């Protein structure tokens, strides 16, 4: 739980959480009651992939 809390706090260096830097989004705090949940639509998956690419570009530019 301590590691989860640490990774979910905003980093002074990155100005985002470590989870967001690694995965492009912060974790959700919900328990899914239906384990057979459907996958998101392809457009939602593409949006997520685009956000990850933008985040990757941003983090790389901040390291230079």
pLDDT at 64 exceeding the cut of 90: no
| Whether 4 contacts 52, CB under 8 Å | no
Tell me the torsion sign for CA atoms 55, 56, 59, 62. negative
Q: Which domain holds residue 46?
A: 2-63
| Whether 10 contacts 4, CB under 8 Å | no
In terms of pLDDT, which residue wins out, 50 or 4? 50
Number of domains in the chain: 1
pLDDT of residue 30: 62
Give residue-wise pLDDT tens across range 6-60: 777 888 888 888 888 888 887 766 656 677 778 789 999 999 999 999 999 999 9
pTM of the complete model: 0.47
Q: In this structure, what token pair is assigned to residue 37?
A: 């949940």
User: How does residue 1 score in pLDDT terms, banded at 50, 70 and 90?
Assistant: low
Alpha-carbon distance of 52 to 36, in angstroms, equals: 26
């Amino acid at each position: 739980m301590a590691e989860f809390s640490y990774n979910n706090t905003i980093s002074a260096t990155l100005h985002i959480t470590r989870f967001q830097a690694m995965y492009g989004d912060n974790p959700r705090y919900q328990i899914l009651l239906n384990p057979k949940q459907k996958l998101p639509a392809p457009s939602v998956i593409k949006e997520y992939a685009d956000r990850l690419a933008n985040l990757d570009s941003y983090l790389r530019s901040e390291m230079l």
